[in-house]
């Protein structure tokens, strides 16, 4: 019998383990087709001031998608909290991806400020998904602060370099009892597959899809990769080593 393998975050059951973004498309009009091809159910957006002729991205997002607004632009916990509250006022749910970055050169998240913002927003009833360096202590602080999942980066944002932080993400998967959503750095489907095979709960892919030559086809490729990786994780990897006791017994030869 087929067992359900849905991912539950903040009480919401998701069938798809691929989260997608809305940034960096050559044309936002591609987004509906990307949503369709990826089968994703969660999509990130950013919050910005309206400009004179800006139309925003909402018109391109199918209504079935769950919105995951981020707090990009926030340089500390206070700004992240302000952005999160504004995002909730838009009336599209209470999920929030905390992103606090004050280093514009490397765009690495500030774990301390992120955990602070997580605590405040979790208390206000948000479903909080903090974007962090895969640091065990920061992840634990986010768990204690009431996060619904943690989102460690695979490599610096936008680099498409894959799972450079694989060892550290492995430790989070081992130690943290919340879903681990690998965010940032996943440029190719094989990298997403690898993350899922390790036991990540989901992957968030934006640049890898948006900056490809054919985002719709790439969205489909990522969908299949994430599904394949998940299936492999559930199936359990087989032993590589061949069986049978070794001929000489240098360590246990003393036993009769």
Partner 1 sequence: MDTPVLADTFAPGEAHFDECLAEWPRERRAALASSITERDVLAALEKDVLRPEDFMALLSPVAAPFLEEMAQRSREITLRFFGRSVNLFSPLYISDICTNHCRYCGFNADNHQKRRHLSVDEAAAEAFALADAGISHILLLTGDARHIASPQYIADVAARIKPRFASVGVEVYSLTLDEYRLLIRNGVDSMTMFQETYNRDLYEWLHPAGPKHDFLWRLNTPARAAKAGMHSVGIGALIGLDEFIHDAFCTGLHAWWLQKHFPGVDIGLSVPRMCPHEGSFEVKHGVGDRQFVQYIAALRCFLPRCGITVSSRENANMRNHVVPIGVTRVSAGVSTAVGGRVVDAENSGQFDISDHRSVREMTRDLAALGYQAVAKDWEACDF
Partner 2 sequence: MRITVNGETEEITEGLTLLDFIIGRGLDPGVVVAELNRDIVAKDNFAAVRLNPGDSLELLHFVGGG
Binding residues for partner 1 (CB under 8 A): 140, 170, 174-175, 236-241, 243, 245-246, 249-252, 254-256
Per annotation, catalytic residue among 97, 116, 123, 166: 97
Residue 134 CB partners (closer than 8 Å, separation 6+): 152, 153, 165, 168, 169, 171, 172
Q: What are the phi and psi torsion angles at 160 (to 5°)?
A: 55, 30
C-beta of 51: minimal distance to partner 2 in Å? 8
Q: Under rule CB under 8 A, which residues in 97-156 are in contact with partner 2?
A: none
Q: 80: buried, middle or exposed (CB in 10 Å: 19+, 13-18, 0-12)?
A: buried
Name the binder of 174 from partner 1, partner 2, none, CB < 5-8 A by kind.
partner 1
Both tokens of residue 134? Answer: 């895969």
C-beta of 111: minimal distance to partner 2 in Å? 19
The closest of 31, 14, 11, 13 to 22, measured between CA atoms, is 31
116 has catalytic annotation = no
Q: 201-230 burial, b if ≥16 CB within 10 A, otherwise e?
A: bbbbbbbbbbbbeebbebbbbbbebbbbbb
Binding track over 198-227 against partner 2, x by CB under 8 A: ------x-xx--x-----------------
Name the binder of 237 from partner 1, partner 2, none, CB < 5-8 A by kind.
partner 1
Among 8, 48, 103, 123, binds partner 2 (CB under 8 A): 48
**Sign (positive/negative) of CA torsion 46, 47, 52, 56?**
positive
The residues that are catalytic are 97
Residues near partner 2 (CB under 8 A) = 21-25, 28, 44-50, 54, 56-59, 67, 69-70, 72, 85-87, 89-92, 157, 184, 204, 206-207, 210
């Amino acid at each position: 019998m087929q067992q359900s393998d849905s991912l539950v975050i903040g009480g919401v059951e998701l069938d798809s383990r691929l989260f997608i973004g809305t940034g960096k498309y050559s044309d936002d009009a591609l987004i509906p087709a990307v949503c369709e091809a990826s089968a994703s159910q969660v999509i990130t957006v950013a919050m910005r001031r309206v400009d004179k002729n800006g139309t925003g991205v909402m018109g391109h997002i199918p209504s079935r998608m769950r919105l995951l607004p981020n707090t990009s632009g926030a340089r500390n916990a206070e700004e992240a909290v302000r952005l999160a509250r504004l995002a909730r006022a838009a009336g599209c749910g209470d999920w929030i991806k905390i992103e606090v970055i004050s280093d514009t050169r490397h765009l690495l998240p500030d774990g301390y400020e992120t955990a602070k913002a997580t605590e405040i927003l979790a208390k206000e009833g948000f479903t909080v998904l903090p974007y962090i360096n895969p640091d065990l202590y920061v992840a634990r602080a986010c768990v204690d602060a009431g996060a619904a999942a943690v989102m460690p980066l695979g490599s610096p944002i936008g680099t498409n370099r894959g799972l450079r932080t694989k060892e550290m993400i492995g430790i989070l998967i081992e130690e943290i009892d919340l879903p681990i959503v690998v965010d940032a750095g996943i440029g190719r489907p094989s990298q997403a597959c690898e993350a899922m095979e390790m036991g990540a709960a989901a992957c968030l892919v934006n640049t890898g899809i948006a900056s490809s030559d054919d985002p719709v086809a790439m969205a489909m490729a990522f969908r299949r990769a994430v599904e394949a990786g998940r299936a492999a994780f559930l199936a359990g990897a087989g032993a590589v080593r061949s069986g049978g006791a070794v001929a000489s017994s240098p360590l246990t030869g003393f036993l009769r």
